Amino acid sequence: MSAPEGDKIEKLINPIETYPPSPEFIAGTKIPADIREHAEADRLEFWAEQARTLEWETPFTQVLDWSNPPFAKWFADGKLNVAVNCVDRHVHAGRGDKVAIHWIGEPGDTRTITYNDLYREVQRAANMLEDLGIKSGDVVTLYLPMLPETIVAMLACARIGATHSVIFGGFSSSAIRSRVDNSGAKLVITADGSLRKGRKFPLKETVDEALAEPGHSVENVIVIKRADKEIDWQEGRDLWWHDAIATTAEKHEPQAFDAEHPLFILHTSGTTGTPKGLWHSTGGYLTQVAFTFRTSFDLRDDDVFWCSADVGWVTGHSYIAYGPLANGATQIMYEGAHDYPSLDRWFEIIEEYKVTTFYTAPTAIRGFMKSGREIPLRHDLSSIRLLGSVGEPINPEAWEWFREVIGSDRAPIVDTWWQTETGSHIITPIATLDALKPGSGQKPVPGVVVEVIDEQGNRVNPGEMGLLTITEPWPSMARGIWGDEQRFIETYWSQFPGRYFAGDGAGVDLDGDLWLLGRVDDVMNVSGHRLSTTEIESTLVDHDLVAESAVIGAEDETTGQAVVGFVVIKDSQREAASQLDVEAELRAFVAKRIGAIARPRQLYVVAELPKTRSGKIMRRLLKNVADGKPAGDTSTLTDASVMAVIEEQVLARQ
């Protein structure tokens, strides 16, 4: 851990152009203008008010119990049912006809699912699970594509108090097995296959492989038919979803669960190491997810929300499954790849469904920048009112492009910083209140208290960088690493007593606004100067030629560490790049923008960067290779061959 304390970077001390909210944008918002002051006046009462917007079977009397840190209890003596909150209460309030999900299959098939439909399906699915003996306290593993049934299965688990553990549908059989063993899951719900880029991928087959060795806890496997794929069948263990659901009872009487009951277990993306299996609560989680969904995205009654993440990541849990549904919103759920059958796909969906609020990741935005603005611009994207970014720092260049091209030159962007561990947004501007700064997360969510500190635990001054910590418990915080309390304490709570620290660096500008600077482990020390990878990457991407970049600090005999950059050239600039000494040009560009100290020692033009399946750049692999070591564990990479190609390129130069 190395804090970039003391160093100043340009954007923290220089005023930049900001985008204040327009009167047209603010008109009709439900967000009170004094929401932050209100939250600060009495933080716990503020969260209690948010919690009371949910339906409780037994109202809570206690807000926070922090008597055994870092294990928080929120609203602990209250009881509620998450599925009732996400479905039944909207139906009971007469909003059952509202569309919950516009589902779009990759081959072009579509389904419109209202809250009434969800009400019917979730009750049946809950009965189906109970028929199999699943009850409160059991764990159910979901290994599924992006189907309406995926959401129905999550809600059915919640309805009966079973804890779900979703495993991203691209993971291997060994990843499934280790997660099943860790959670003691009794049931796996999967599909015969998934459809991606026009091809069929195995899911059931992978589950079979995971369960081939005996000694596991799984008693049944429910299979959803999606891909019409030949599969093996284990009589007595396997059953079809459509058969089981057709023969079960229609009505299901929900039961309320303790606010602290475990709603789900979910693993981190594995960007920095072995994924950690965090578990989340019922009442506190739903409270903050529901609150941040309506506040960060300035929810309006007729919004059509779209989060492009996969349900296998926390973004999908909080802002596809629980946040939108708890608020009775309408959303898009798209099954397939962004570039199938062509790069127009997402924009066609936005145009056709008149999406108002679009939440995606910087990697997607940079991908579209790489292929050129003509593609989005041949669609009518004028329905978009608000944009959101999540997953990695968004560089100002990508922010501006996103606003201009996808946001019709007017839509505000909320850059939301948070983690699997935090359950929901922690830092984000509020688009109706803040003058937006491209590339900055700006402010903590109302009711959340963060502090940027140096290695000694002192708050940094405005204009400086440091370590991002959360100083007070928040409702949607993870309640632990499943089955490993000690690792939870050590990983997040031991560096600074009483504070949560999850490894990201941040800067505070002269206005007190926050800038996320990437992983602290990725901060470099070059001749005693601390440099942020994010800062150099952002500069590289600002160059006309560059679509994407990754920067690492490689071992260096003279300077301790040296900057090594990897860049991907924009499609439209390939021709221009071939006429130039790209390496010399970009090294000089960085030196001019940031200073000679940041000039990359080497710069590699690569075809693709290594990314996790959630789309994040895996810098540690690049660092290993630059240091002349084997790349290391590539099992959480989307495409392991990317690393092999880069390794060859680097070796050829050493």
Among 417, 474, 488, 589, binds ligand ATP (CB under 6 A): 417
Among 268, 476, 533, 559, binds ligand ATP (CB under 6 A): 268
Options 200-208, 268-276, 280-288, 568-576: segment touching Mg ion (CB under 5 A) = 268-276
Question: Shortest gap between Cβ of 170 and Mg ion (angstroms)?
Answer: 19
d(CA 220, CA 523): 47
| Chain-centroid distance, C-alpha 125 | 27
The DSSP string of 95-148 is -TTSEEEEEE-TTS-EEEEEHHHHHHHHHHHHHHHHHTT--TT-EEEEE--S-H
Q: Which of 7, 89, 153 is nearest to 326 (CA)?
A: 89
Residues 6+ away with beta carbon under 8 Å from 233: none
Based on the shown chain and the rule CB under 6 A, indicate whether residue 390 belongs to the binding site for ligand ATP.
yes
Residue 79's φ and ψ, nearest 5 degrees, are: -130, 140
Options 184-192, 387-395, 443-451, 559-567: segment touching ligand ATP (CB under 6 A) = 387-395
Residue 227's φ and ψ, nearest 5 degrees, are: -105, 0
Based on the shown chain and the rule CB under 6 A, indicate whether residue 445 belongs to the binding site for ligand ATP.
no
- Residue 85 or 422 with smaller CB distance to Mg ion: 422
- Residue 546 or 552 with smaller CB distance to Mg ion: 552
d(CA 234, CA 231): 10
Reported in sequence order, the residue ranges of 225-380 that DSSP labels E, i.e. its strands, are 238-240, 257-258, 264-267, 277-280, 304-307, 330-334, 357-360
- Residue 132 or 642 with smaller CB distance to ligand ATP: 642
Which residue is associated with the tokens 């008597």? 67
Among 138, 310, 351, 415, binds ligand ATP (CB under 6 A): 415
Options 21-29, 103-111, 267-275, 320-328: segment touching ligand ATP (CB under 6 A) = 267-275
Residues β-bridged to residue 531: 524
Rg (CA), the chain: 24
Among 188, 467, 516, 622, binds ligand ATP (CB under 6 A): 516
Question: Shortest gap between Cβ of 422 and Mg ion (angstroms)?
Answer: 10
Based on the shown chain and the rule CB under 6 A, indicate whether residue 502 belongs to the binding site for ligand ATP.
yes
Which residue is associated with the tokens 């970049």? 549
100 binds, among ligand ATP, Mg ion, none (CB under 5 to 8 A by kind): none
Contact present, 82 and 57 (Cβ < 8 Å): no
Question: Shortest gap between Cβ of 573 and ligand ATP (angstroms)?
Answer: 26
Question: Shortest gap between Cβ of 505 and ligand ATP (angstroms)?
Answer: 9
Based on the shown chain and the rule CB under 6 A, indicate whether residue 393 belongs to the binding site for ligand ATP.
yes
Based on the shown chain and the rule CB under 6 A, indicate whether residue 504 belongs to the binding site for ligand ATP.
yes
Options 299-307, 376-384, 388-396, 432-440: segment touching ligand ATP (CB under 6 A) = 388-396
- Residue 416 or 549 with smaller CB distance to ligand ATP: 416
Based on the shown chain and the rule CB under 6 A, indicate whether residue 519 belongs to the binding site for ligand ATP.
yes
Task: Write each residue from 112 to 141 as x if it is in contact with ligand ATP (CB under 6 A), else as -, in one continuous string.
Answer: ------------------------------
* Residues in binding contact with ligand ATP, number by CB under 6 A: 27
Among 11, 261, 385, 616, binds ligand ATP (CB under 6 A): 616
Residues 6+ away with beta carbon under 8 Å from 349: 104, 306, 332, 334, 355
Other CB atoms within 10 A of residue 325 CB: 27
Options 123-131, 264-272, 437-445, 579-587: segment touching Mg ion (CB under 5 A) = 264-272
- Residue 226 or 616 with smaller CB distance to ligand ATP: 616
| Cis ω before 429 (30° cut-off from 0) | no
Question: Shortest gap between Cβ of 502 and Mg ion (angstroms)?
Answer: 6
Question: Shortest gap between Cβ of 427 and ligand ATP (angstroms)?
Answer: 7
Question: Shortest gap between Cβ of 419 and Mg ion (angstroms)?
Answer: 5
3-state secondary structure of 573: helix
Q: Which of 150, 384, 418, 440 is nearest to 292 (CA)?
A: 418
69 binds, among Mg ion, ligand ATP, none (CB under 5 to 8 A by kind): none
Based on the shown chain and the rule CB under 6 A, indicate whether residue 429 belongs to the binding site for ligand ATP.
no
* Pairing status of strand 465-470 against strand 450-453: antiparallel
d(CA 411, CA 403): 6
Question: Shortest gap between Cβ of 226 and Mg ion (angstroms)?
Answer: 31
Kindly give the residue spans of alpha helices, DSSP state H, lying in 354-449.
362-371, 374-377, 396-401
Based on the shown chain and the rule CB under 6 A, indicate whether residue 363 belongs to the binding site for ligand ATP.
no
Contact present, 103 and 335 (Cβ < 8 Å): yes
Residue 485's φ and ψ, nearest 5 degrees, are: -60, -40
Task: Write each residue from 174 to 203 as x if it is in contact with ligand ATP (CB under 6 A), else as -, in one continuous string.
Answer: ------------------------------
In the complex, which residues of this chain contact ligand ATP (CB under 6 A)? 268-273, 275-276, 313-314, 389-393, 415-417, 419-420, 441, 502, 504, 516, 519, 614, 616
Binding site for Mg ion (CB under 5 A): 268
